[in-house]
């Protein structure tokens, strides 16, 4: 099965990351790098997204499309990146997500076939 792991940052997580010393931040990113290396056999793609303020939103729910700068919703949580994975089932995707050393929220969604 193919799934997308959507990594969600919170305001608190972002603040904690910014408050880290450069050495602590490097160690934290090293844990993420090690996680990616451990799971490279099932990761099919993915990327880190730029900050939410760089988003452009197109709304199609009115008589004309409306384009606005910024994210679709204002919130305390933002999707910061994703991986597409191919694993046996949801249980395997959950095991991966539970061991993620980065941001505190991961949404798992199956991909359409």
Q: What is the pLDDT of residue 72?
A: 65
Q: What is the pLDDT of residue 76?
A: 80
> Which regions in the chain score pLDDT beneath 50?
none
DSSP label at residue 51: P
Q: In terms of residue numbers, what domain contains 104?
A: 2-110
Q: What is the pLDDT of residue 78?
A: 87
Give me the sign of the Cα torsion angle 2, 43, 32, 51: negative
Q: What is the pLDDT of residue 106?
A: 97
Domain count, the chain: 1
pTM (predicted TM-score) = 0.88
CATH number for 97: 3.30.70.1060
Q: Which of these, 76, 78, 72, 74, lies nearest to 107 by C-alpha position?
A: 78
């Amino acid at each position: 099965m193919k799934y997308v792991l959507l990594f969600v940052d919170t305001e608190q997580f972002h603040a904690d990351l910014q408050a880290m010393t450069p050495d602590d931040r490097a160690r934290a990113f090293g844990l993420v790098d090690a996680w990616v290396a451990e799971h490279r056999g099932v990761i099919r793609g993915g990327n880190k997204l730029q900050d939410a303020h760089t988003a452009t939103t197109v709304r199609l729910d009115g008589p004309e499309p409306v384009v606005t700068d910024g994210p679709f919703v204002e919130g305390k949580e933002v999707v910061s990146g994703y991986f597409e994975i191919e694993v046996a089932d949801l249980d395997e995707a959950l095991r991966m997500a539970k061991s993620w050393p980065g941001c505190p929220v991961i949404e798992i969604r199956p991909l359409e076939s």
